[in-house]
């Protein structure tokens, strides 16, 4: 696949990524992707036969982005506590987007976990990326047997308050919960 | 509307309620409701012109059920603390269903909050029912200025751990978080 082909493929993935997030996976059609990119349906199908194929590429793309961010934090922040703080600060920084559309991972997994799709497995890896990384931080902080439970607790609290902020259209809810989480991290 | 009409209407609402929860709102079609109830499309349209009309009736139905449950708890449990415990015990009791399909309120609001529907308002009332009731309990417990923030915190934690249980197919996550919430309630 030449350079132009790679660019076209990336353009399709980028458009689908945004549409799946803003509109939902089920409510995004090939026509929406055609409209947004200006790439003809036949050309899109040259790269992706089905919407599930596009989903897989979008999830891979998100997973790569997240891994790059976490790897950058590993380099920049020396202690596990600093890294945990960086994670909750990221949640706070995205609060306006989260309030508008919900969590990109949580809403996608919620939708794909219904029996109409039953393909939540396809997106679970995005939670794994954060859960594994958070588990490593909590392990390094001590009490390794508690590490995964703490990672899931932290992810759950970030997810949950994102749901409430999305429902009530109130980004301040995220900021309040992030403060509580920072205290919790400091106390560990 | 006679008795038979009322029964037909209820049957449609009940079927749609289950389908919206298990399959999602967007992925439920009139055909699915026809198939499940055996009621002809024309007859369904006699009661509900659009799927949005059915959604409104489903939300009203859920809101009535929830209000009846909360009113029952108000009668059965004397103190606000007992009532708060009753709420988290309900979450624990539903953990298997929550793990399979996610939270019926959270996943519906998540879906409707996307720009493809932008009709989250229609379902927000379901969170309001619980949020208002929880706020009342926290007010009675003291520190009324903190009451609504605590209600949203509690709802957020219940929602968040439900997302994680749904994603990882693990009802034990709900049970663990419920224990933590019970400690938190006891400490207030």
Q: What is the pLDDT at residue A120? A: 84
Given a contact cutoff of 8 angstroms between Cβ atoms, the answer to whether A107 and A167 are in contact is: no
> Do the Cβ atoms of A115 and B101 come within 8 Å?
yes
Reduced 3-state DSSP string for A33-67: HHHHHCCCHHHHHHHCCCHHHHHHHHHHHHHHHHH
- The pair of structure tokens assigned to A116 is 């109409």
Q: What is the pLDDT at residue A2? A: 66
When pLDDT is cut at 50, 70 and 90, the band that residue A119 belongs to is confident
Is some CB atom of chain B closer than 8 A to the CB atom of A76?
A: no
Give the sign of the dihedral formed by CA A65, CA A69, CA A75, CA A79.
negative
Q: Which residue spans within A5-159 are E strands per DSSP?
A: none
Q: What is the pLDDT at residue A118? A: 81
Nearest to A163 among B28, B106, B114 (CB): B106
The reported pTM is 0.95
Is some CB atom of chain A closer than 8 A to the CB atom of B184?
A: no
Q: Name, in order, each residue with C-beta under 8 angstroms of B104's C-beta and a sequence gap of 6 or more.
A: B21, B62
> Do the Cβ atoms of A26 and B27 come within 8 Å?
yes
Give the pLDDT confidence of B99-116 residue by residue, as tens digits. Answer: 999 999 999 999 999 998
- pLDDT over 70, % of chain B: 99
- Asked if the model's pLDDT at residue B34 lies above 80, the reply is yes
Q: How far apart are CA A33 and CA B9, in angstroms?
A: 38
Q: What is the pLDDT at residue B119? A: 83
**What is the rounded average pLDDT of the residues A67-95?**
98
Location of structure tokens 């369904």: B44
Residues in B closer than 8 angstroms to A115, CB to CB, are: 22-23, 101
The residue in chain B having the minimum alpha-carbon distance to the alpha carbon of residue A120 is B167
**What is the rounded average pLDDT of the residues B39-54?**
96
The residue in chain B having the minimum alpha-carbon distance to the alpha carbon of residue A148 is B173
Nearest to B28 by CA among B48, B55, B57, B10: B55
Alpha helices in B24-79 (DSSP H): 30-37, 41-47, 51-76
Q: What is the pLDDT at residue B2? A: 66
Provide the mean pLDDT of chain B: 96
Residues in A closer than 8 angstroms to B107, CB to CB, are: 110-111, 114
Q: What is the pLDDT at residue A40? A: 97
> Do the Cβ atoms of A156 and B160 come within 8 Å?
yes
Nearest to A91 by CA among A24, A183, A160, A146: A160
Give the pLDDT confidence of A29-60 residue by residue, as tens digits. Answer: 999 999 999 999 999 999 999 999 999 999 99
Q: What is the pLDDT at residue B36? A: 97
The residue in chain B having the minimum alpha-carbon distance to the alpha carbon of residue A176 is B149
Residue A104's CB: how many other CB atoms inside 10 A?
21
Q: What is the pLDDT at residue B118? A: 81
List all residues of chain B from 19 to 38 with a beta carbon under 8 Å from chain A: 22-24, 26-28
Residue B79's CB: how many other CB atoms inside 10 A?
11
Given a contact cutoff of 8 angstroms between Cβ atoms, the answer to whether A128 and A117 are in contact is: no
Q: How far apart are CA A130 and CA A57, in angstroms?
A: 19
Give the pLDDT confidence of B113-153 residue by residue, as tens digits. Answer: 999 888 888 899 999 999 999 999 999 999 899 999 999 99
- Asked if the model's pLDDT at residue A165 lies above 80, the reply is yes
Q: How far apart are CA B25 and CA B32, in angstroms?
A: 11
In the DSSP assignment, the letter for residue B120 is T
- pLDDT over 90, % of chain A: 94
Give the pLDDT confidence of B76-97 residue by residue, as tens digits. Answer: 999 999 999 999 999 999 999 9
Is some CB atom of chain A closer than 8 A to the CB atom of B176?
A: yes
Give the sign of the dihedral formed by CA A173, CA A182, CA A188, CA A135.
positive
Give the sign of the dihedral formed by CA A4, CA A6, CA A12, CA A14.
negative
When pLDDT is cut at 50, 70 and 90, the band that residue A1 belongs to is low
3-state secondary structure of A28: coil
B37-53: b (≥16 Cβ within 10 Å) or e? bebeeeebeebbeebee
Q: How far apart are CA A162 and CA A96, in angstroms?
A: 10
Q: What is the pLDDT at residue A116? A: 84
Q: How far apart are CA B98 and CA B171, in angstroms?
A: 8
Q: How far apart are CA A184 and CA A176, in angstroms?
A: 13
């Amino acid at each position: 696949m030449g350079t132009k082909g790679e660019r076209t493929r990336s353009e399709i993935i980028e458009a689908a990524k945004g549409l799946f997030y803003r509109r939902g996976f089920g409510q995004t059609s090939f026509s929406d992707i055609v409209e947004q990119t200006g790439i003809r349906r036949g050309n899109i199908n040259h790269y992706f036969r089905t919407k599930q194929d596009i989903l897989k590429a979008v999830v891979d793309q998100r997973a790569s982005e997240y891994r790059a961010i976490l790897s950058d934090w590993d380099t920049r922040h020396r202690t596990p506590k600093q890294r945990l703080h960086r994670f909750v600060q990221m949640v706070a920084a995205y609060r306006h987007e989260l309030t508008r559309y919900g969590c990109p991972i949580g809403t996608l997994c919620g939708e794909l976990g219904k029996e109409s799709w039953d393909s939540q497995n396809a997106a679970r890896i995005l939670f794994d990326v954060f859960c594994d990384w958070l588990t490593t931080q909590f392990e390094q902080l001590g009490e390794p047997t508690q590490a995964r439970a703490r990672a899931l607790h932290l992810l759950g609290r970030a997810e949950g308050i994102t749901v409430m902020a999305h429902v009530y259209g109130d980004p301040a809810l995220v900021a309040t919960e992030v403060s509580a989480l920072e205290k919790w991290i400091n106390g560990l």
